[in-house]
A and B are shown apart, each in its own frame.
Chain A
Amino acid sequence: SYVLTQPPSVSVAPGQTARITCGGNNIGSKSVHWYQQKPGQAPVLVVHDDSDRPSGIPERFSGSNSGNTATLTISRVEAGDEADYYCQVWDSSSDHYVFGTGTKVTVL
C-alpha cells in the first residue's frame, strides 16, 4: 500500500517560515492536499491540488510537489498556525485514499 511520510514535528519562531514535507514514491505524479487540525477540532483544508488555496486561507500557506516530496510552506508564521498538519493523496492503484503520518507544528 502507498505510504506518505511526514516529520513528526517542526518548530518555528514567529515570523519565520515553516516547511512541512510529505514523502511518497513518485508523489509528484499525484495531487496532494493539506489539512490543518487544531486540538479538539475537525481538520480544515489549507492547500489542495498541490498548490491551490481554498477561499479564506491566507496567502502565507503555499504548496509544491515534485519527485518524491511534496511540501507545505507557511510563511510569516503566527501563533495561530500551531496545529497538526496532514498531507493526503488518492492512490489509484489500490483505490484507496491515503493520509500522511502528520506533523505537529510548534510556534516557539
Chain B
Amino acid sequence: EVQLVESGGGLVQPGGSLRLSCVASGFTFSGYSMIWVRQAPGKGLGWVSYISTSSSTIYYADSVKGRFIISRDNAKNSLFLQMTDLRAEDTAVYYCARHGGGTTVFDSWGQGTLVTVSS
C-alpha cells in the first residue's frame, strides 16, 4: 500500500523559514516524480512544486519561485520542501503527492501538514 506521511508544519512568523518532509513507503520511491500541493483554509488546491526522479527537472509555481526549494533523498525515500521568506498567504495545508508514471496525474496523496504564517 502506498503511504506518504508529511511532517514539519507549524507556526512561523512572517519572513521565517520552515522545512517540510514527506516519507514514502509501499512503492519504489526512486522510480516516481513527486509533487507538493497546498490548500489555504477554505480555498481550493494549488500546485506548488514538482521534482523528477533524479532531481534533474524541477518546476515551481510563480508564487513560490525563488523562496521555496524542493529536493529529495531517494536513499531515504524522502521528499522535502524548504520554505523561506514565508508570508501570510503561504498559510495552508501542504500535501505531498506521487506523480503517476507516464502521465500527468497525482495518483496518491499524503494527509498533509499545516503551515501557519502569523505574528
Chain A residues near B (Cβ < 8 Å): 1, 31, 33, 35, 37, 41-45, 48-49, 54, 84, 86, 88-90, 95-102
Contact = CB atoms under 8 A, between A and B. Distances in A.
Contacts, number: 62
Nearest to A99: B45
A99 B109 contact: no
B109 A44 contact: yes
B45, B50, B108, B111 interface centre (most CB from chain A within 10 Å): B45
A95 B104 CA distance: 11
Contact of A97 (B35, B95, B107, B108): B35
Interface in B75-119: 95, 100, 103-112
Interface of B: 35, 37, 44-47, 50, 59, 61-62, 95, 100, 103-112
Contacts of A45: 105-108
10 contacts: A31-B105, A42-B111, A43-B95, A45-B108, A48-B107, A49-B105, A96-B47, A96-B61, A97-B59, A99-B45
Given A42-B110, A42-B111, A48-B100, A99 B105 contact: no
Given A96-B47, A97-B47, A54 B104 contact: no
